[in-house]
Amino acid sequence: MNPGKIGRVAWREFASTVLTKGFIIGALLTPVLILVMIAIVTALTAFKSEPTISGEVAIVDPTGVIAERLTETLSPEALAEAARARAERIAETLKDVSPGASSFAGSIGPDAESFPTLRVATLPADTDQDAEKQRVREEANVEDGRLALLIVDEAALMPQPEGEARQDIQLFVRPKLKDDVIDTIRNAAVRVIRDERFRVAGYDRSVVGRLQDVNTGSARELTEDGGERASIGDFRNFIAYGFMMLMLIPTFVGAQYLLTNAIEEKSSRVVEILLSAVSPMELMTGKVLGQMCVGLVIMVIYGGMSMYALISFSLGDAITPLALVSMFVFFALAYFTFASFMAAVGSSVNELREAQSLIGPVMVPLMLPYGLGIFIADDPNSTFATIASFVPPISPFMMMLRVASTEPPPPWQVGLAVVISAVTCYVAVWCAAKVFRVGLLMYGKPPNFRTLIKWVRMA
């Protein structure tokens, strides 16, 4: 085999796939577009929140205490303080798991939000409610006009009666008032009513709060090396599934391109001209390697983006070097197995339609990991997972999932999976090379499986 010729065939295969509009739009521009979209949406959100909503919240309060407390709670200072406390709580929860995510959560605290400027107007208890509602309607488009009318039930400070529930407040708002403003008003009212109920019942609100607060911290994993770390639980399964998808998608895409390109070379009758310059084995090797590079490009783009995201959330340590190395090894083994089969099928038919009946046996094992992966990621050391990770040709995908999971399998199992996959790969490439060599020059009736087996024996 001549490496120079294989390189040329591989380069043509790579260039004719990657340097096409379809690929650039599909594989390269899509992630870029997603990032651009996220940036635009973020920018738009920031832009949109620019004009602060301001106006009056009228309150009918027969209890006489809620309106006053609400005036304090809805003041801009109090709203900002509440937001800050909320952000701190989230950051505290995330701190154990991911310092990056925690600081991110901290940063989206009060500064990132804009608060409505709300003016509370207390109305007499016997006011004409219909007239006040009418004012909300009339001032719907008036700047700094009335935004909402809050009517508090006279029994609002009493505990809810057993049986039928009592409506403690009624909130009427102008059309199209933003949800977050409505939520701000309603949540403030609920908080105030709750605090007042505790007071009336004779409890100290702060004591009740502390009684309710049970601090658990996050679960810590005790690792085999004697250390411990924050558990990221199901998230790690998600990462393991991600690793498998990073192998599966390029395998799928590469195999698909090989099929269509081999069919194109055959149907355009260019193949025998190529065979005058390269041997069938050189041609197949070059094509398979070329598409492998396409797969690697896809893998690097999507894998790189995912890694960047994980690292920026300080979840980088979820990616172990073993998992990374395994990904490349298992990708190579899985890819060569499936790609050589697809190249063989592509060489034996005259058009894509004829290939459909032959590629079924390849497509099924390529679809299986999608479904099985969920169960295996969930319990990576179950008997089912262990067996599935030794079954060719899905062994590389299944073992990858286990390697990247919370409980990596023992090294001998990984080694065994590599051996099984390597043997499968060798057999697949050997058979495919024979079918490829015969199939390339066959025109006419499309072959069935029996014919392909005959070719393997014949060549």
Partner 1 sequence: MSDDAIHIQGLGKRFGDKVAVEDLDLVVPRGSLHGLIGPNGAGKTTTIRMVMSILFPDAGRLSVLGKKSAVESKDRIGYLPEERGVYRKMKVGAFLSHMAGLKGVTSGVSQKIDDWLDRVELGDVKKKRCDELSKGMQQKIQFISSVIHEPELLILDEPFSGLDPVNMRLLRDLILDQHQKGVTVIFSTHVMIQAEQLCDHIVMIESGQKVLDNTLQEIRDRYDPRSVVFEPDAGIGPSAAEQHEGVESVRQVSPGVFEAALHDDADRHTIMANILEQTRARRVELRRPSLEDVFIEIVQERTGGDVDSDELRAQLQDRAAGPQEATP
Distance CA 345, CA 172 (A): 68
In the region spanning residues 280 to 299, those forming contacts with partner 1, defined by CB under 8 A, are 280
Using CB under 8 A, pick the residue from 21, 269, 450, 457 that binds partner 1: 269
Q: Are 390 and 370 in contact (CB under 8 A)?
A: no
Q: Which of residues 11-30 bind partner 1 (CB under 8 A)?
A: 12, 16
Is 456 near partner 1 (CB under 8 A)?
no
Our finding on whether 322 is near partner 1 (CB under 8 A) is no
Contact 381/389 with Cβ under 8 angstroms?
A: no
Smallest distance, Å, CB 438 to partner 1?
7
Which of 274, 323, 391, 422 touches partner 1 (CB under 8 A)? 274
Find the shortest distance in angstroms from Cβ 15 to partner 1. 9
Rg of the chain, C-alpha, whole Å: 33
CB of 262 to partner 1, least distance (A): 13
Report the alpha-carbon distance of residue 372 to residue 279 in Å, rounded. Answer: 40
Asked if 268 interacts with partner 1 (CB under 8 A), we say yes
276 binds partner 1 (CB under 8 A): yes
Told to check if 350 binds partner 1 by CB under 8 A, we report no
Transcribe 222-236 into DSSP letters.
E-TTS-EEE--THHH
How far, in Å, CA of 369 to CA of 338, rounded? 14
Site string for partner 1, 366-405 (x = CB under 8 A): ----------------------------------------
**What tokens appear for 122 in the block?**
């207390």
Establish if 278 lies at the interface with partner 1 (CB under 8 A). yes
442 forms part of the interface with partner 1 (CB under 8 A): yes
Candidates 264, 352, 357, 456: give the one binding partner 1 (CB under 8 A).
264
- Asked if 441 touches partner 1 (CB under 8 A), the answer is yes
- Cα separation, 418 vs 422, in Å, equals 6
Say which residue the tokens 């899905």 belong to.
394
Q: How far apart are CA 442 and CA 437, in angstroms?
A: 10
For residues 401 and 368, give the distance between their C-alpha atoms in angstroms, rounded to a whole number. 13
Nearest-5° Cα angle at 362, 359 to 367: 120
Least distance in Å: CB of 7 to partner 1? Answer: 10
Please report whether residue 177 would count as binding partner 1 according to CB under 8 A: no
CA pair distance 104, 100, nearest whole angstrom: 6
CA distance 74 to 86: 16
- Does residue 265 belong to the site contacting partner 1 (CB under 8 A)? yes
Least Å from the CB of residue 287 to partner 1: 13
- The 8-class DSSP code of residue 147 comes to E
Residue 430 CB, nearest distance to partner 1 (Å)?
Answer: 17
Contact call for residue 9 and partner 1 (CB under 8 A)? yes
Give the range of 126-134, 289-297, 372-380, 443-451 binding partner 1 by CB under 8 A.
Answer: 443-451
Where is 173: in which H helix or E strand?
A: strand 169-173
- Residues lying near partner 1 in the complex (CB under 8 A): 4-5, 8-9, 12, 16, 264-265, 268-280, 438, 441-445
